[in-house]
Structure formats: structure tokens, C-alpha cells
Chain A
Amino acid sequence: MLSPESLKKIDREVAKYPAEHKQSAVMSALRIAQDEKGWLAPETIAFVAHYLDLQPIAAQEVATFYNMYDLKPVGKHKITVCTNLSCTLMGAESAVEYLQRKLGIGFGETTPDGRFTLKEGECMGACGDAPLFQLNNRKICAKLSPETIDAILAGLE
């Protein structure tokens, strides 16, 4: 179900916690599974639960509680724009407008070619660099302007 590399990564996370508390690694394990599969299908969640000796519902509780898990398929690149107060004061709205126009989609949507999904996010703890978005749960792209957005998107496969 998951590749040996992913399982190795999960094992590394498990090792961070006392042996009787494997459950502690469930967040990382779900993240690793999502990285490999693109999103968390029910069977992926069940697999992770099984791997960590949890009931599937316990893993599903976690997968549905934290925002960055995708419980439905997303595009190849997921763009999560923070629209909270600091970011809005600093121009998030025009960045969102530009992105939506450029990609032709709204929040929660994926481009027909499956390349981009746009999401609205909450505070990322990086407000000083607003406006900003987070790319694929990994990289924060800061101080957005039409030019920087063009450059970032052009750099993606």
C-alpha cells in the first residue's frame, strides 16, 4: 500500500516516541502517506492506522481534524493562500484575485488539467511576509506580486 521508502520514513517518526506510544507518529505517517499518494483515501487512512496498531476511526479523527490533510484528490500543486487579517491588510485580496484569474478557478477548485488546486488558508505564522501562500504543504512563497506569482507558477512543472 505504501512504498518501502515511505514506510522507512514512518519508522523514523515512530522512533521519536516511547515504544508504547506509536500513535504519536500518526500525524507524520498520514503526512508521509499523503505525500506519496497525493491525498488521503479511506483505504490509505486505514492502512496507516493498521500500520500503527490503531483503530481506523482514530486515524480518521486525526486526518479530518488538521487542515493540511487532503481528504479528496487535489491538483499536482496545491496553493493555499492565507487570507487572515494581517495578510488581508497587506494585500492578500489582490493576490487571490490575480491567482484566481490566472488559474481560472476559485477557492476549493482544481484546474481542469489537474495541475493546480487553490485553497483558502488560515494564519501560517509568517504574516510579516504577506501576502503569501503555501505551496504543496511545504514552501511558503512570500511577498507576492503579479510578477512573483508568475515566476513561481512558471517554475512549476
Chain B
Amino acid sequence: MLNIEIDGKQLTVEPGTTIIDAADAAGIYIPRFCYHKKLSVAANCRMCLVQVEKAPKPMPACATPVTDGMKVMTRSETALKAQKAVMEFLLINHPLDCPICDQGGECQLQDLAVGYGMGNSRYAEEKRVVLNKNIGPLISTDMTRCIHCTRCVRFGQEIAGIMEMGQIGRGEHSEITTFIESSIGSELSGNIIDLCPVGALTSKPFRYSARGWELTTRPSISPHDGLGANLAVETKNNSVFRVLPRDNEEINECWLSDKDRFAYEGLNSPERLQRPMVKRYGEWRECDWPEALEAVAGGLKRVRSENGDAQIGALASPHATVEELYLLHKLMHGIGNGNVDHRLRQSDFSADANLQGAPWLGMAIAEVEKLDSVLVVGSTLRADHPLLAHRLRQAVKRGAQLNLINPVDDDLLCDVANKAIVAPDAMVQTLDQVRRALAGESVAGMAGSIAASLRQGERKAVLLGNLAQHHPRYADLHAMAQQVAELLGAKFGFLGEAANSVGAYLAGAVPDEAGMNAAQMLEEPRRAYILLGTEAELDSYNPAKTLAALQSAQLVVALSPYKHHALDYAHVLLPVAPFSETSGTFVSTEGRAQSFSAAVKPLGETRPAWKVLRVLGNLMELPGFDYESSEQVRAEALHGDLSAKLNNRLKAPVAKPVGAAAGGLQRIGEVPIYHADSIVRRAAALQKTAAAGVPTAAMNGETLDRAGVVEGMDVIVCQGAGSVVLKAARDDRLPHDCVRVPAGHPATAMLGGMLDEIVVERAG
């Protein structure tokens, strides 16, 4: 440890600490622009110059390591003179029109200029003007304001994993830009808005809509992926204007994925359902709540008495809160056999009897970054878990070996030690080979290399992604992965698909032995369905089958914030609050329960779903539906030690023998990043990004040839009775005999199973 003194304060710090870090830890503020705790040190802005005793010139605090006995003066005359001179230089070419700048009021330059500025300018020459760039639908640029701190450039290189922004030109002519105005494609791009200390990079959707100080900030939790990112939801006039990250080192650090940041636009969508609606004689009509709820209760009672309890099923979204899912569970158990499930995209439920708890990450999120070797099975990682992908990238940068068994070979923006890119079918074989190799059999090829790589290092993990969880042989993958982890002494975990995938288990939104799971409820259609927060045809494994089941039902009740396709098949629509308009709890993939309250009041006649379910319980004359607050529901739903309820181990991990692969073409149906849930599907700016583009049918060259089509041609893609016309695309990194056709998208919502057989023909 070193003893130093900053502004007269005696401090003891670790060797290697920089002056700025030591000062920050001691609560002494040194002005800065380019320095950021998560980025490499550039030391280019020079705002942090401080006086160091015996040094002939002022030193940049961000880049100067402390030495024992060092005496630093951050506000001495020498230091202030240097800081003021830098501020003067920064301002000569910076527009001084804060009132019309979108960053006005929350600009670091503006803030510091007040303290370090000179008042009147000695600069009498013309100011530099830099042309703006169009870098896509999310980020707006005003490059004349740029102060060249290069935080955005370093963010791309060091965190996003892809250099999309650069500083071109040199000297005074240098400009920050993307390559010839191409759009930024990173799923983490919005963070550069926060990083930019001035108004050069601002949020395009938020632009000019409000001033920072007009907004009220409410803490919240992301309702999207399983990470549980901490949000600051900013509101004005009872609507959400912007979402920013709240720092939480253990979860999202200071970052947000673009989905978490920009999906809020979906909350203000014109498709919001504002009043309950009932369908009578084929006609939809708005009505009041009592009428709608009576209709539901009446309808359910009729099905119960005429067809029996078991004829009612409930399908819920894993993006719903613990409170909502728990009350749904309670309702279903009260009125029936507990036919309730949230795993709508799962297709293989044969492991259920063997489960011993809620599947979860198997470790803390922050531990992912410290892994030495990892096997990820079946995941479109960057799209499904943008910030977990970032943690893995950091691990790889540290030297970790990342191994993949996957049907797609999307760029993970980091080195991948070994990857087996195989058809969904063959994933099972490959994982089995890895298991055999680890068990001592001699296995050649990629599986052998993966096994060898996994043996290295101390901290290891085997992780199953969304594609593995959706897989028709998920139970086998689960069993094998568990065995692989056991052979390695590795952690074993699931990359949780949705904000509440873990919470849904804990809240009982899964059937017990008597109840039916999601697949069964659709395989043997029920007379009545309750849909909680799901657009079933977009959220389920087999949309065609789902739609058929729903269309044949006598009663479909949809609780949703949106008027959606349910208009076609439902009988009652109940407007329920999205996360921003209700209190609730999500349990993240690492098993962390995070509660939040409403950021704004419910829109129109929208009500929080937990309240709706409570009333429904009462109307159905069920006992125990007398909650006064969501906290009460939570207390009942999540009682006891949560961590004891998390368990990835199957009681008896037996995988069925690996059979021969089926013939024909196999679909690889992943869920595109901006179609994963109802809110993000309606986020206007995200829908304009390339990642939200129209689905194609992608195949490798040989498979295209065999189908007799070429890239760009229209093809008819069929599964069962459902077919759609898509453009054929070529991706030679895809395995043979596979067709990548995304799910979760209206354009493919009439197709069948996400990873099932598929037929491709030339159109016309």
C-alpha cells in the first residue's frame, strides 16, 4: 500500500492506482471528460490536469499512477490555471448555444464551464463547423459539439466488441463518425449517448421531446431479457419519455442494451388497449370493467360446469411479474387442475418430472466475467442476452476460452476457441461426443477440441441458451450438459430467456403432476384459455398449432396491454398494465428478486394484472384472493429462501440414446432481438434498425442449390399447413439442410415449430 496526500488529505491506496481513482475514492472531484471508469485511459482531454509536488508540469490525473509519498494538489493555482486553460481550448470551437442543445441541462461541458470557464472569450476567429452524420434510427448526432474525448470510439472497441465509430482525419479536422455514414449495428449502441459528455450524441427517439430537468425519474427493472437490468424510467405528464441505466455493478454495471433503453417507445404505442372489450355475436365492443369481468367469470364457470375444470388452460408470458403469475397459478389451481405454463416456446417437457427446482444461471452474473472456460449450447447470444454476451467477451479478453455448440455462427465479436456449428438435430450428438470425450473416450474432431479446451482453467461453466431450451430434444441436452458439467466440475446454468423466467417457476406458473404444460394444452385443445401478457402466435414454439387451438376454443380471455392479433381469436380483451404502470417483481436469471413500483399511472382504464386476477378470483368465489397490495402477493409467492428453490440438476440425468437424424430440411427458428416481447415489438425506433428487418429464409449455398433457388429469390416456406413467402438469403456459415427462419415475427406467425422440419420451394 502507498501513502499519498491529495489536497491535504492523507490516503492509503493500492500500488497502480491512478490519481483520479484515488481522488474519486476519497470523494475529491477532479474534472474530466475522456476518463471513464469502464474504458481504457486515453488522457486526451487534459481536463484533469493537477499539480504534483516536484513535477515540473501539471500531470493528467487519469493517467498518472500514484507513487509513495506523492503530494497532489487538485485546486492549487497551478492546477486551476491548467484546468481553466484546457476549458478555454475546449470552448473555442464549441457552440455556446446550450439553450437549443438537446444535452442542455445535463451536459458535463456546460457544468464544468461554469466552474472553470473564463467568462468572456479571447477567441475571435470563426468556429469550426462539422457536418452531422446519420448513424441510424437510435442515435442523433450534432458533431460540431464533439470534444474528441473518444469515449464513444473506445466503447465500441472495448465494450461493444466492434469498432463502428472512429475518429477520422487529423488535428482540428478530425471528426467522429461511422464508416461513410453507415448505421451503428451494435445491440449496445445506446450507451454512447450516456458516455458522450456533451450534446454530440443524443437519443434520436427522445430528441427535443423534453429537458432533463422536466422529467421525473423512477427506479425500475427491465422487463425484457433475464438479466434484470436496473432502469431509471423518466416520465413527464404521466408517460415514459426515456429510459436510462441505473448503475449496478453486479448486474448491468453502467450499461443498458438498446432493447432495455429504447423499448419504452412500445409503452406509448397507439396499439395500447385502453378499455376492456368483449366480442358478442362476432362484434367487438368496448365495455366497462364489471361487464368484462362478469363475462369472463361467467364464461369460465360455464366451461367448468359443462366441460369440466380440466378444459380451462392458462398460458402466460415469462415477462409477466411474479405477482401476476402467482395469482394466475392460484386462480388455475382454484378453478381447475392447474393447467398453467409460461414456457410457451419450449417444446420438450420430458424433463419436468426430473426437475428439482427453477432452472437458473447457476452462478452470479458478475461471475460470468471471471470464467476461464465456457461451453455455450444453443444460443443467439448477442441478441438474446446482450449484456451477458458482453460479460463473456470481457472474460475472453482476459483469456477465457469460449466454446460453442450452435446451429448458427453469428459473430460474437470475440475469439471463439472452438465452435461446432451443426444442425439442431446434431447438437445432441455433438454434446454427447463432448461428454464422451470428457468421460475418457477418444473423440476426434471439434467435440474433442471442445472437451480439451473445457478442461483448462479453474472456473468453468456449461450454459444452455434459448435455442437449447426450445429444442425438441431439450431434455437430452439438459441431461448431457449436466453430465458434462459434472465431469468438469463446472458450473451449470441456463441463460434465462425472459425477465421473469426464473420468477415464473417460483411463482408456480408451471403445471404440477396433475396439470398440463403449454404443449399439452395446445396439443389437446382446451375449451377455454386465459392468456396473460402473451401474443400467443408470436410467443409460442408452434404458432400454427397455437392459433388453431385458440381459434377452436369457446372462450379466450386475453389480458394484455395491447390490442393485438387476439382480436381474431379472443372473446374478451382486458387491458392490463405493462411493467411501467404496475408494481411487481422479476426474479432474474441469477435468482435475484427485484421489485419495482409503477413509474406512471395506468393508461386509460388499464389496470395492473394482479388486481384484475384478484377480482377474477373473487368473482369465481375462490378463497384467498383478498390481497391489499402487490407486496402481500409477493410475500406469499416468494416466501422462504429463494436460493434453495433454484436448481438445475435433474434427479436422474439420463439422455435418450442418440438416434439418426431425420431427413429433410430443419428450421432454425430463433427469436429476433427486437421481436422477443410485446413491448419491444412496438418500439418504433428499434423497429427501424437492421436487426428488426423482414425475416428471410437463409440457407447455405449447397442447400440453396439443392432447393433450386438463388439468393434474393422469393421462396415458399411451409411447415404443416402453414406457409409464407420469404426472400431466400445465403449464409454459408449455416449447417447443411437447415433453413434459418426467425420466429416471433408476424411474417412467420403462420408457420409451425421453431426447430422442426420445414419445406422450401421456389415461388411462382
Q: Which residues of A contact B (CB under 8 A)?
A: 42, 46, 55-58, 60-61, 64-65
Contacts and interface: CB of A to CB of B under 8 A. Distances in A.
A57 B165 contact: yes
A84 to B, nearest CB: 16
A55 B411 CA distance: 13
20 contacts: A42-B179, A42-B180, A46-B179, A55-B162, A55-B164, A55-B179, A56-B179, A56-B180, A56-B182, A57-B165, A57-B178, A57-B179, A58-B166, A60-B166, A60-B179, A61-B167, A64-B169, A65-B168, A65-B169, A65-B170
Nearest to B165: A57
The 9 A-B pairs of least Cβ separation, nearest first, read A57-B166, A56-B179, A64-B168, A57-B179, A55-B163, A61-B166, A42-B180, A64-B169, A65-B170
B173 to A, nearest CB: 9
B164 to A, nearest CB: 6
A58 B180 CA distance: 12
Contacts, number: 34
Nearest to A42: B180
Interface in B151-174: 162-170
A46 B181 CA distance: 13
Given A65-B169, A65-B170, A60 B180 contact: yes
Given A55-B162, A55-B163, A61 B180 contact: no
Contacts of B182: 56
A130 B170 CA distance: 27
Interface residues of B, number: 14
A139 B180 CA distance: 32
Contacts of A58: 163, 166
B174 to A, nearest CB: 8
A-side binding surface: helix, strand, loop or mixed? helix
Given A57-B178, A61-B167, A65-B169, 8 more contacts: A42-B180, A46-B179, A55-B162, A55-B166, A55-B179, A56-B182, A57-B164, A57-B179
Contacts of A56: 179-180, 182
B170 A64 contact: yes
B186 to A, nearest CB: 11
A42 B177 CA distance: 14
A22 B162 CA distance: 17
A64 B164 CA distance: 16
Contacts of B162: 55
Contacts of A65: 168-170
A124 to B, nearest CB: 18
Most buried by A among B162, B167, B179, B182: B179
A61 B164 contact: no
A58 B166 CA distance: 7
Nearest to B181: A42
Interface string B169-207: 110000001111010000000000000000000000000
B356 to A, nearest CB: 46
Nearest to A56: B179
Contacts of A42: 179-180
Contacts of B178: 57
A64 B166 CA distance: 11
Contacts of B177: 57
Contacts of A46: 179
A56 B163 CA distance: 9
A57 B166 CA distance: 6
A64 B170 CA distance: 7
Contacts of A60: 166, 168, 179-180
Contacts of A61: 166-168
Nearest to B162: A55
A128 B87 CA distance: 42
B417 to A, nearest CB: 15
A42 B162 CA distance: 19
A40 B170 CA distance: 17
A63 B182 CA distance: 17
Contacts of A55: 162-164, 166, 179
Q: Which of B164, B165, B168, B178 has the most CB of A within 10 A?
A: B168
Interface string B338-357: 00000000000000000000
A46 B170 CA distance: 20
A58 B153 CA distance: 10
Contacts of B169: 64-65
A58 B163 CA distance: 7
A60 B165 CA distance: 11
Nearest to A63: B168
A56 to B, nearest CB: 4
Contacts of B180: 42, 56, 60
Which residue, A46, A57, A58, A60, has most C-beta atoms of chain B within 10 A? A57
Contacts of B179: 42, 46, 55-57, 60
Interface string B128-166: 000000000000000000000000000000000011111
A57 B182 CA distance: 10
Nearest to A45: B179
A115 B166 CA distance: 34
A42 B168 CA distance: 13
A44 to B, nearest CB: 12
A57 B170 contact: no
Contacts of B163: 55, 57-58
A57 B165 CA distance: 7
Contacts of B164: 55, 57
A109 B179 CA distance: 26
